[in-house]
């Protein structure tokens, strides 16, 4: 009996030893995996670093590229497009004005009654119209006829609160958010379509001419007074309420900036100098690139695999279209090389752009003790269940690294504009107030991004930061376009004389 018991004990002890060894091996393996995952994260964090010295180099490079883009066409990665907007709204504008905002699968029509300094925007109405998919790939006439008909229907619903001065034509500001070669305040030829549009016979045509012909065909008596993009609309909307606004930045799905330049500081401008002495420049700053930008291997592969490799590099590291995708790419590397989410790579994690920036923002802002928002996002979007708190904390840290880099680089870009305008220092002991109007979903809804950008700009500006203000300017592409129609109205000369 005793012998059997001893044998059983030995067998039992051996089994315990084997089990312990298995646990130890598993722990060593999982701690090895964890160490590998952390090494990937730390390396990424280091490559994304934006110390203040680097940000100053980025700002200086932005200023240099601005000078180069103003000197000659094609002189810089920054297009520095002359917008022909030389009169920004002052607040004195009066009358009824319309806006048309075409920038995607929907377009908006808007009307506004302006009452001058005392009554500003008296009354405003807006309507959104979906574009049938077949019109996005058909013929130019069909698309513009559809838009003109929607405009005519909207005009027909004009109520008694709106007053058009007798004998006057209705005037429209046209926000057209596609690449255009502008030739005057109210004309510009389409360079190419983006965002799912492909209407071959419109390329190279004057989009204002196309819209005007369509309005004439249905007997709608309306004049396009200004052709603008959403960034210039944001600048106009900001300036209307605050005359200290000198620049506008959009931080949304994409990103861009526009600012007010002195006309004599634009060497490539060969026309007559405008009476105001000013000219609004559409920077197209999403295309900025510099050796000082902290790019990682993830950014490089994202760029190579994108629809526009080598283009829009600045946009690809700071805008809402791409931030979530960068997070996904790092998580994928951690899953593949360090089994971060278990033995196999979650299939959904392989899908480009599955992790959108609003979801990244929700995870980054999760304040619950168990980070349950992070857990539910990983489960709902990537089908990764039962994640530990330790894992969730790493995901939040990764969101923070990506958002912080984007926000700090945005601040450096703004400093570049202020430097170009000589508003980054105190001149002759007096501080001039400078306001930058911001719009876009990323700025509006991702509060950690916004907070980081604002505090970084303060850090960069030092003592001057008191005189630089960031202001949210809502709906530039709508009301801004109507305000620009007012400030470029054909009836201004009549009123002034």
**pLDDT at position 4:** 46
360-410, pLDDT tens digit by residue? Answer: 999 999 999 999 999 999 999 999 999 999 999 999 999 999 999 999 999
Of 357, 363, 303, 297, the closest CA to residue 330 belongs to: 297
Identify whether residues 197 and 306 lie together within a single domain.
Answer: no
Identify whether residues 75 and 149 lie together within a single domain.
Answer: no
169-226, pLDDT tens digit by residue? Answer: 999 999 998 888 889 999 999 988 877 788 999 999 999 999 999 999 999 999 999 9
Looking at the structure of the chain, the number of domains it has is 2
Residue 3: inside a domain, yes or no? Answer: no
Which of 204, 228, 252 finishes a domain?
228
Work out the mean pLDDT of the chain and round it to a whole number: 91
Identify whether residues 321 and 464 lie together within a single domain.
Answer: yes
Identify whether residues 399 and 426 lie together within a single domain.
Answer: yes
101: β partners? 108, 175
Identify whether residues 209 and 312 lie together within a single domain.
Answer: no
Residue 218: inside a domain, yes or no? Answer: yes
**pLDDT at position 10:** 54
Owning domain of residue 196 = 84-228
Q: Which sequence positions are flagged as catalytic? A: 108, 177, 230
Identify whether residues 175 and 271 lie together within a single domain.
Answer: no
Which of 201, 228, 255 finishes a domain?
228
Identify whether residues 202 and 254 lie together within a single domain.
Answer: no
Residue 11: inside a domain, yes or no? Answer: no
28 pLDDT above the threshold of 60: no
CA distance 485 to 240: 13
């Amino acid at each position: 009996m005793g012998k059997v018991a001893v044998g059983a004990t030995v067998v039992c002890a051996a089994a315990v030893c084997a089990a312990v060894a298995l646990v130890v091996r598993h722990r060593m393996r999982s701690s090895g995996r964890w160490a590998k995952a952390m090494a990937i994260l730390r390396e990424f964090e280091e490559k994304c670093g934006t110390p203040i010295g680097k940000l100053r180099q980025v700002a200086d490079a932005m200023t240099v590229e601005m000078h180069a883009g103003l000197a000659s066409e094609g002189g810089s990665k920054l297009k520095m497009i002359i917008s022909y907007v030389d009169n920004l709204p002052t607040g004195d504008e009066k009358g009824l004005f319309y806006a048309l905002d075409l920038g995607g699968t929907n377009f908006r029509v808007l009307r506004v009654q302006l009452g001058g300094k005392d009554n500003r925007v008296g009354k405003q109405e807006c309507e959104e119209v979906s574009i049938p998919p077949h019109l996005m790939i058909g013929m130019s006439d069909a698309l513009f006829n559809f838009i003109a008909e929607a405009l005519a229907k909207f005009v027909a619903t004009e109520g008694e609160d709106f007053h058009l001065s007798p004998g006057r034509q209705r005037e429209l500001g046209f926000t057209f958010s596609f690449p255009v070669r502008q030739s005057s305040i109210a004309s510009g030829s389409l360079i190419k379509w983006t965002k799912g549009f492909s209407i071959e016979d419109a390329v190279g045509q004057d989009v204002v001419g196309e819209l005007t012909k369509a309005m004439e065909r249905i007997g709608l008596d309306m004049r396009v007074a200004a052709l603008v993009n959403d960034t210039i609309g944001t600048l106009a909307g900001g300036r209307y309420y605050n005359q200290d606004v000198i620049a506008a930045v959009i931080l949304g799905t994409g990103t861009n900036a526009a600012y007010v330049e002195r006309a004599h500081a634009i060497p490539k401008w060969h026309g007559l100098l405008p009476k105001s002495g000013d000219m609004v420049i559409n920077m197209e700053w999403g295309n900025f690139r510099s050796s000082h930008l902290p790019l990682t291997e993830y950014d490089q592969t994202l760029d190579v695999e994108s629809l526009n490799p080598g283009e829009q590099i600045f946009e690809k590291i700071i805008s809402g279209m791409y931030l979530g995708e960068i997070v996904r790419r790092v998580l994928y590397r951690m899953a593949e090389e360090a089994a971060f989410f278990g033995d196999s790579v979650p299939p959904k994690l392989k899908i480009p752009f599955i992790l959108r920036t609003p979801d990244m923002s929700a995870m980054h802002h999760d304040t619950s003790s168990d980070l349950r928002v992070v857990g539910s996002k990983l489960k709902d979007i990537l089908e990764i269940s039962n994640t530990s708190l330790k894992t969730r904390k790493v995901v939040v840290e990764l969101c923070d690294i990506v958002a912080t880099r984007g926000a700090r680089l945005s601040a450096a870009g703004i400093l570049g504009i202020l430097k170009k305008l000589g508003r980054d220092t105190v001149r002759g002991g007096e501080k001039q107030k400078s306001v930058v109007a911001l719009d876009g979903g990323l700025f509006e809804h991702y509060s950690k991004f916004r907070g980081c950008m604002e505090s970084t700009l303060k850090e960069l500006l030092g003592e001057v930061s008191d005189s630089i203000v960031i202001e949210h300017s809502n709906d530039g592409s709508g009301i801004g376009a109507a305000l620009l129609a007012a400030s470029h109205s054909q009836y201004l000369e009549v009123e002034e004389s």
